[in-house]
Amino acid sequence: MPEIVLENITKRWGKFFGVDNVSLNIPNNSFITLLGPSGCGKTTILRMIAGLETPTEGRITIGDKVVFDSNAGINVPANKRRVGFLFQNYALWPNMTVYENIAFGLKNIHEEMPVIDVEAKRAGDMIRALQNGSRIKEIVEECRDKNGKPDENKAYVKLIDNYSISIYTAKELFALGIHLAQEPDTLAKAKVMEYEAKLSDIKKKLRSEEKDINEKFQVTKGGKVVLENRKLTKEEIDARVRACSRIVKIGMFMDRYPAELSGGQQQRVAIARTLAPEPQVLFMDEPLSNLDAKLRLEMRYELQRLHVETGSTFVYVTHDQMEAMTLATRICLVNNGVLQQYAAPLDVYNRPANLFVADFVGNPSMNFVDGKGKQAEDGSIVLDILGEHKAKFVPNEKVLLSDWREAREKEDADKLEFEHQRLMKKGAVEKSNKDEVFKYHVQRVEEQDESIMDEPVITDEDFVLGIRPEAIDIEPEGRIKTKIYGAMPTGMESTLKLRVGEFLLTGVIFGNSIYRIDQDANIDIKGKDILLFDRKSGKLISAGALEIT
């Protein structure tokens, strides 16, 4: 089944690199989110996989089929890649009803599939539905309008939902008039007999041609299902449209036009339309960004459920880190067209690869604290932080800073060499949107205008500590004396801004205590998930614990 592999994909427009040498492996049946700030190239990556955009260089494989290869000159058009795409603004066709929107794609399917005996299937469905006559009567009775007349269209939808049948079968069932009979069960029984006779007639006829039908009403020959290159029949299209609309609960809007639906309903129609042709890969481009907060949460659950139910591979683009964290099996963070980190959500949260990832993921954002210091003999690093405080950083695993720096320098040199090699090639273009080390933000009471300050000289002794707000805890014995600068209680937790000298730290304290502004508070920094970054390259050195001395 499909696994999507991207190898060295680059997309540029002139000198602007939208996507820069991205390699990605999307395993089958996974839910991947492409996350990044707006304009970072995530939608472009998605559109390139779907075939709506042509990469400048690289190779894309879906399943065992190469769909794009710049060297071999392969470019399979979007319509042959058999993927589903959910657009940000839904792109529902305004001139068609909901039903037509969903059915439209199904009419184009032309592939090898089992032959189904339509008559037999209909008879079979009728027999199944007719087992309980009084239930049918109940269903139709529920659909009476204010004049007491049964509303036919409503009844059809109810019957379809109850028995998973097509509209044609539903009409036939309704026309039998079970709901009008005094004793619906008896009438239903009689009708069942009729249909069983019909079914056995069909079977007899097929057997005379040395064929048979199985329990799915597929025609078999010699015990094997007969396959044929064919289009879907009207019945099958209807059944699939109904099935998809049942998943997203839009059965009652089938005759409406998209303009007559709310945003959330339109979204669900778009999902149903994408699901109907049963794509093995489903691409979604910020599908929830147009919805209100509550509906967005609800749809998030539905998408999660859909992923499990359909078993397809989902690739999802979003700029909302919350959405990415909650939905994905793996997150792929992109900035300025460059892949920053590709890992499971909690890994991205706990062990961000660099300052950009650390800052982007998490709400409220991580605290960054500048520190200056050296590694001691025992592997710990003693740092001057927050003005007058001294802290000892104990890494979880042993790192030798000199080795780490050597590796970093080698990596940088390799990268430079690679870039140099690339530019030597004919037709190579320099990247105009240069990659820079992420400018992290240190919170201060008086914001400094960094643009007018001199660039600080960064040595190997400069580090950045990343402290998640939940690592900060208020304790009477805490080593750092702070004043509460701002407090936002939400009931479950309080987000506090704490003032340490000229610096500010954000902390999240669970429980519903009340904090007064300007109240004194002593804090400690707890846990083994404090992150140490190299200030020069912005890369993560290690995670560890922090001891304030």
Residues 267-286 that bind other proteins (CB under 8 A): 273, 277
Nearest to 87 by CA among 31, 46, 51: 46
| C-beta of 110 vs 410, nearer to other proteins | 110
Residue listed under structure tokens 């999802």: 316
Which part of the chain contacts other proteins (CB under 8 A), choosing from 105-113, 323-331, 428-436, 439-447? 105-113
Which of residues 310 and 329 has its CB atom nearest to other proteins in the complex? 310
Residue 82 CB, nearest approach to other proteins (Å): 8
CB of 30 to other proteins, least distance (A): 21
Closer CB to other proteins, 9 or 282, in the complex: 282
Which of 179, 181, 156, 178 lies closest to 169 in space, CA to CA?
Answer: 156
Residue selected from 28, 87, 290, 481 as contacting other proteins according to rule CB under 8 A: 87
For the CB of residue 78, give the shortest distance to other proteins in the complex, in Å: 5
Question: Shortest gap between Cβ of 272 and other proteins (angstroms)?
Answer: 13
Question: Smallest Cα–Cα separation from 432: which of 10, 13, 9, 7?
Answer: 13
| Residue 52 found at the interface with other proteins (CB under 8 A) | yes
Q: How far is the CB of 311 from other proteins (least distance, A)?
A: 20
Which region, judged by CB under 8 A, interacts with other proteins, from 74-82, 217-225, 320-328, 464-472?
74-82
Using DSSP's 3-state secondary structure scheme, residue 251 falls into helix
Distance CA 33, CA 95 (A): 32
Give the range of 79-87, 354-362, 372-380, 397-405 binding other proteins by CB under 8 A: 79-87
Smallest gap from Cβ 260 to other proteins, in A, equals 16
Site for other proteins in 107-136 (CB under 8 A): 108-109
* Closest CB 229 distance from other proteins, rounded Å: 15
Say whether residue 76 binds other proteins (CB under 8 A): no
Q: What is the DSSP string of 172-231?
A: HHHHTTGGGSSSHHHHHHHHHHHHHHHHHHHHHHHHHTTEEE-TT-BEEETTEE-EEEEE
Q: Which amino acid type is present at position 76?
A: V
Q: Tally Cβ neighbours within 10 Å of residue 404.
A: 15
Least distance in angstroms from the C-beta of 86 to other proteins: 9
How many residues would you count in the chain? Answer: 549
Q: How far is the CB of 287 from other proteins (least distance, A)?
A: 12
Query: Per the structure block, which two tokens stand in for 399?
Result: 């790192």
In this chain, which stretch among 91-99, 114-122, 230-238, 334-342 interacts with other proteins, using CB under 8 A? 91-99
85 is a contact residue toward other proteins (CB under 8 A): yes
CB of 268 to other proteins, least distance (A): 15
Q: Do residues 233 and 218 make contact, with C-beta atoms less than 8 angstroms apart?
A: no
Q: Assign 3-state DSSP to the chain and report helix, strand, coil percentages, each to 5.
A: 35, 30, 35
Question: How many other β-carbons are positioned within 10 Å of the β-carbon of residue 374?
Answer: 10
Instruction: Please report, as a single letter, which amino acid is at residue 132.
Output: N
User: What is the nearest approach in angstroms of other proteins to the Cβ of residue 430?
Assistant: 22
Residue placing its CB nearer to other proteins in the complex, 50 or 474: 50
Q: Can you tell me which of 2, 58, 84, 371 binds other proteins, judged by CB under 8 A?
A: 84
Spatial CA neighbour of 91 closest among 243, 250, 285, 221 = 285
Counting residues that bind other proteins (by CB under 8 A) gives: 23
Q: Which of 24, 34, 46, 50 binds other proteins (CB under 8 A)?
A: 50
User: Can you read off the two tokens belonging to residue 37?
Assistant: 């700030």
Return the closest-CA partner of residue 62 out of 41, 76, 72: 76
Q: Which of 112, 125, 106, 121 is nearest to 219 (CA)?
A: 121
Please say which residue, 79 or 459, places its beta carbon nearer to other proteins: 79
For other proteins, the closer of residues 266 and 367 by Cβ is: 266
Provide φ and ψ at 451, rounded to 5°: -70, -25
According to the binding rule CB under 8 A, does residue 410 interact with other proteins?
A: no
Q: What's the token pair of residue 536? A: 């020069």
DSSP of 258-313, one letter per residue?
A: GGGS-HHHHHHHHHHHHHTT--SEEEEESTTTTS-HHHHHHHHHHHHHHHHHH--E
- CB 330 to other proteins: min, Å: 24
14: contact with other proteins by CB under 8 A: no
- Rounded CA separation 362/356 (Å): 11
Tell me whether residue 93 or residue 418 sits nearer to other proteins (CB atom).
Answer: 93
* The residue type at 261: L
Nearer to other proteins, 270 or 496 (CB): 270
Q: Which residue has the tokens 């049946």?
A: 29
The Cβ of residue 80 has, within 10 Å, a number of other Cβ atoms equal to: 10
Choices 28-36, 64-72, 84-92, 537-545; region in contact with other proteins by CB under 8 A = 84-92
- 485 interacts with other proteins by CB under 8 A: no
- 87 or 168: whose CB is closer to other proteins? 87
Nearest to 125 by CA among 219, 198, 182, 180: 198
In 3-state terms, what secondary structure has residue 54? coil
Q: Does 393 bind other proteins (CB under 8 A)?
A: no
Is position 182 an interface residue for other proteins (rule: CB under 8 A)?
A: no
Question: Least distance in Å: CB of 497 to other proteins?
Answer: 42
Q: Which residue has the tokens 């996507």?
A: 19
- Ramachandran sector of residue 285 (left: φ over 0; alpha: ψ -120 to 50; beta: rest): beta
Residue 77 or 263: which CB sits closer to other proteins?
77
Residue 257 binds to other proteins (criterion: CB under 8 A): no
Q: Which stretch binds other proteins (CB under 8 A): 28-36, 56-64, 92-100, 467-475?
A: 92-100
Q: Kindly tell me which of 109 and 399 has the beta carbon lying closer to other proteins.
A: 109
Q: Which residues of this chain interact with other proteins, rule CB under 8 A?
A: 50, 52, 77-80, 83-85, 87-89, 91, 93-96, 104-105, 108-109, 273, 277
